[in-house]
Amino acid sequence: MKSLKFTLAVLVLTTGAAFAQDLDADGDGSVTYEEATALYSGMTEEDFAEADTNDDGVLDADEVALAEESGLFAAD
Ligand SMILES: [Ca+2]
Ligand SMILES: [Ca+2]
């Protein structure tokens, strides 16, 4: 059980990091709406606002991972 949890945690972290790296075009560690729409042109401001759970106007790696899980970052 312990190793399964560890494996899942690594999977989530790895996926989130790789995803954020693709999205974060300027490499400042956060994803703006412009950066998000550069990769996902179908993403609306509503989708972005929903993904931005702490309402600071940008997405961090955790928010990107959550948004990916909930399907907000669906491929076109
Ligand atoms: Ca950025
Ligand atoms: Ca945020």
pTM to 2 decimal places = 0.69
Residue range 33-58, pLDDT digits in tens: 999 999 888 889 999 999 999 999 99
> Among the CATH numbers 3.90.850.10, 3.40.50.300, 1.10.238.10, 3.30.1330.10, which is that of 2-70?
1.10.238.10
How far, in Å, from the CA of 62 to the mean position of ligand 2? Answer: 9
DSSP secondary structure letters along 28-67: SSSB-HHHHHHH-TT--HHHHHHH-TT-SSSB-HHHHHHH
In the chain, domain spans: 2-70
How far, in Å, from the CA of 25 to the mean position of ligand 1? Answer: 6
pLDDT band at 73 (very low <50, low <70, confident <90, very high): confident
How far, in Å, from the CA of 5 to the mean position of ligand 1? Answer: 30
pLDDT value, residue 3: 75
Q: Is the pLDDT of residue 2 over 80?
A: no
Q: Are 19 and 64 in contact (CB under 8 A)?
A: yes
